[in-house]
C-alpha cells in the first residue's frame, strides 16, 4: 500500500528526507518537469530515498522511469552537462549537472536463469513492479517528481526506523533473482548497522551455494564495501554464520580451530575479529576507511591452522604462520582479482606482523630497525603514533624502562603507488604501522616467538 506523508505531521525520518530532498530539488524537480513534459514518469528511488531518510544523501541520485534509454537521452539533451551510456544494456543512462551525478534507469524486471552469471534484463511498465524487484524494502521506496509523492508499498519506512533488513517478496525469490543480494545484506549490516531479518538469514544459509553463479569481480566489490563499513565485524560474522564466506573466503571460517583442554590456545577466529575491530579504531578520524589496513588485520593469522603444532609439554605453537599466511593471502587476493599493488601491500603486512615481537622489552638493535625499514619498503609509515608497544626507532643504549609510551618515527617520505581511487589508497599509514603492535601484540606479549 502506498503511503503519502502528511506535511503537518512528519516523523523525524520524514523531516530529514524533506530537508535533503529540498537541497537537491532544483535539479531533481527540473528533471521531473522535463520528463513530465515529454509524457514520461520520473521517480527518485532506491538508495537515494533511503539515504535521504537517513539524512546522508550524497551527490549521486538514482531515478527510475517508464522512458526507454533512447527516450531518456532525448529528454536529457540540452539540459545535462554530459551523459554516458556505460549501463545502457541494463537500461541505465548516466548524466551530470551542477556537480550532481544522475543515473536514470528504465523500469525493469531482471532475473537470473539459475545457470548463467549475468542478469536477463526485461523492461517493465510500472513503478510497483520495479520496486518489487529491488533487493530490500528499505531500497523499495520512491519519491515521484516533481510532485514529491512518496510511495512505500512494502513498509520500507518502518523497516528503516527499526534498522531492519527485509526483502519486498520472499527472500528466496529475491536471492534467486540475484544471489549477490545475500552478500549485500551482510554489507548493509556492516555499513548501516542494520539487523538482518531472521527469515533473510535463514535463506542466506540455505542458498549460500548460489553465490557461485556470481562473477568474482562483483563478489570482490561487495566484500570490499563490507570490510570498509562502519562495523565490518558484524558483516564478517554474518558471512561465516551463513556459510557465504566458505564460497569465496574459506580462510576466515577456517580460523575456528578446535579448542582442546590439554593443548589450550586462544580462539583464533575471535582474536582475528578483535584485531579487525582494533584496526578500525586505530584509523581514528580519517575520512576514508583503510582497506589495506583492515584486510591485513583480517588475514594476518590465516596461516595458523596449517602450522599448528603441539609440543611435548602440550604447548601449542604456530611457527612461521606469518610466512604461510602471506602466501595464502596472496593466492586468495589473486583469486578475488584485487589489483597487484594492493595485494602486494597486504601480503607484505601479513608477512611482517610478528616483527614487533620483542620491541617493547628493548630487544631491538639499530640494525634490526634498519632491516625492518628495508623490508617494509613503501609500506613504512611516514608517521606512527600509537599506544605502547609502538613502532620501532633506533634507541641506542636507552634502557627499555625509560622509553616513552608513544613514539613518532619518520623513516622516509615514500608514498604508496596504489591507485587513488582504491579504498585505503594514499599515503600508506597501514599495517606495519600499528595494528600489528597495538591490536595483536598485547595478546602475545608473554608467549614464545611464533607461538601466537
The predicted pLDDT at position 13 comes to 61
Please tell me what DSSP assigns to residue 258.
P
Say whether both 224 and 190 belong to one domain.
yes
CA distance 353 to 396: 24
Please tell me the number of Cα atoms within 13 Å of 84 on its side-chain side. 8
CATH classification of the domain holding 111: 3.30.460.10
pLDDT digits 0-9 by tens, 200-237: 999 999 999 999 999 999 999 999 999 999 999 999 99
The predicted pLDDT at position 401 comes to 36
With residue 61 as reference, give the H or E element that holds it: strand 60-65
Say whether both 114 and 89 belong to one domain.
yes
Say whether both 127 and 183 belong to one domain.
no
Last residue of a domain, one of 107, 138, 160: 160
Say whether both 176 and 151 belong to one domain.
no
Task: Identify each DSSP E strand in 215-330 by its residue range.
Answer: 309-310, 316-317
Say whether both 237 and 334 belong to one domain.
no
* Residues of the chain scoring pLDDT < 70: 1-24, 110-120, 258-266, 286, 355-364, 369, 372-452
Q: Which of these, 448, 444, 441, 442, lies nearest to 313 by C-alpha position? A: 448
Say whether both 279 and 349 belong to one domain.
yes
- For residue 133, which phi and psi values (nearest 5 degrees)? -80, -5
CATH classification of the domain holding 211: 1.10.110.30
User: Has residue 201 been placed in a domain?
Assistant: yes
User: Has residue 5 been placed in a domain?
Assistant: no
User: Has residue 259 been placed in a domain?
Assistant: no
Last residue of a domain, one of 114, 136, 160: 160
Say whether both 283 and 346 belong to one domain.
yes
Using left for φ > 0, alpha for ψ between -120 and 50, and beta otherwise, residue 315 falls in beta
Relative to beta strand 100-106, strand 108-111 is: unpaired
Nearest 5 degrees, angle CA 187-CA 190-CA 196? 75
User: Has residue 254 been placed in a domain?
Assistant: no
User: Has residue 156 been placed in a domain?
Assistant: yes
Say whether both 278 and 427 belong to one domain.
yes
User: Has residue 261 been placed in a domain?
Assistant: no
Please tell me what DSSP assigns to residue 429.
-
Last residue of a domain, one of 248, 281, 313: 248
The predicted pLDDT at position 367 comes to 75
Say whether both 100 and 16 belong to one domain.
yes
Number of domains in the chain: 3
Say whether both 295 and 434 belong to one domain.
yes
> Residue 116: exposed, middle, or buried by beta-carbon count in 10 A (0-12, 13-18, 19+)?
exposed
The predicted pLDDT at position 434 comes to 38
User: Has residue 307 been placed in a domain?
Assistant: yes
The predicted pLDDT at position 113 comes to 60
The predicted pLDDT at position 22 comes to 63
User: Has residue 165 been placed in a domain?
Assistant: no
Q: Which domain holds residue 424?
A: 270-444
Model confidence, pTM: 0.78
pLDDT digits 0-9 by tens, 71-97: 999 999 999 999 999 989 889 999 999
- For residue 144, which phi and psi values (nearest 5 degrees)? -75, 140
Say whether both 372 and 393 belong to one domain.
yes
Say whether both 117 and 189 belong to one domain.
no
Amino acid at each position: 500500500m502506498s503511503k503519502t506523508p502528511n506535511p503537518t505531521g512528519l516523523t523525524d525520518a520524514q523531516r530529514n528526507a524533506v530537508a535533503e530532498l529540498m537541497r537537491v530539488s532544483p535539479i531533481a524537480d527540473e528533471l521531473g518537469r522535463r520528463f513530465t513534459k515529454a509524457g514520461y514518469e520520473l521517480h527518485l528511488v532506491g538508495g537515494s530515498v533511503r539515504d535521504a531518510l537517513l539524512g546522508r544523501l550524497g551527490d549521486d541520485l538514482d531515478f527510475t522511469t517508464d522512458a526507454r534509454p533512447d527516450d531518456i537521452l532525448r529528454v536529457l539533451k540540452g539540459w545535462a552537462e554530459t551523459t554516458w551510456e556505460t549501463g545502457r544494456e541494463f537500461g541505465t543512462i548516466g548524466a551530470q549537472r551542477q556537480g550532481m551525478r544522475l543515473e536514470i534507469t528504465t523500469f525493469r524486471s531482471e532475473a537470473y536463469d539459475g545457470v548463467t552469471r549475468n542478469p536477463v534484463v526485461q523492461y517493465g511498465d510500472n513503478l510497483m513492479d520495479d520496486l518489487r524487484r529491488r533487493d530490500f524494502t528499505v531500497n523499495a521506496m520512491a519519491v515521484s517528481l516533481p510532485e514529491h509523492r512518496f510511495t512505500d508499498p512494502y513498509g520500507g519506512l518502518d523497516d528503516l526506523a527499526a534498522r531492519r533488513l527485509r526483502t519486498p517478496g520472499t527472500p528466496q525469490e529475491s536471492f534467486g533473482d540475484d544471489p549477490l543480494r545475500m552478500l549485500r545484506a551482510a554489507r548493509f549490516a556492516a555499513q548501516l548497522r542494520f539487523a538482518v531479518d531472521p527469515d533473510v538469514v535463514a535463506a542466506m544459509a540455505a542458498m549460500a551455494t548460489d553465490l557461485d553463479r556470481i562473477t568474482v569481480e562483483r563478489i570482490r566489490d561487495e566484500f570490499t564495501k563490507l570490510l570498509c563499513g562502519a562495523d565490518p565485524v558484524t558483516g564478517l560474522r554474518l558471512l561465516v554464520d551463513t556459510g557465504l564466506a566458505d564460497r569465496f573466503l574459506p580462510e576466515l571460517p577456517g580460523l575456528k580451530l578446535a579448542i582442546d583442554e590439554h593443548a589450550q590456545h586462544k580462539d583464533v577466529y575471535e582474536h582475528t575479529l578483535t584485531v579487525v575491530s582494533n584496526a578500525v579504531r586505530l584509523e581514528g578520524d580519517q575520512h576514508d576507511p583503510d582497506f589495506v589496513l583492515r584486510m591485513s588485520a583480517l588475514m594476518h593469522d590465516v596461516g595458523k591452522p596449517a602450522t599448528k603444532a603441539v609440543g611435548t609439554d602440550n604447548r601449542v605453537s604456530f611457527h612461521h604462520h606469518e610466512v604461510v599466511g602471506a602466501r595464502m593471502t596472496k593466492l586468495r587476493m589473486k583469486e578475488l582479482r584485487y589489483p597487484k599493488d594492493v595485494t602486494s601491500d597486504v601480503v607484505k603486512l601479513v608477512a611482517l606482523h610478528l616483527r614487533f615481537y620483542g620491541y617493547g622489552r628493548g630487544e631491538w638493535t639499530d640494525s634490526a630497525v634498519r632491516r625492518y625499514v628495508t623490508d617494509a619498503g613503501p609500506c613504512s609509515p611516514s608517521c606512527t603514533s600509537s599506544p605502547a608497544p609502538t613502532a620501532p626507532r633506533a634507541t641506542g643504549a636507552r634502557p627499555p624502562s625509560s622509553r616513552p609510551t608513544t613514539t613518532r618515527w619518520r623513516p622516509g617520505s615514500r608514498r604508496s603507488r596504489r591507485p587513488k581511487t582504491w579504498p585505503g589508497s594514499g599515503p600508506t599509514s597501514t599495517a606495519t604501522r600499528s595494528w600489528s603492535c597495538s591490536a595483536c601484540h598485547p595478546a602475545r606479549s608473554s608467549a614464545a616467538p611464533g607461538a601466537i
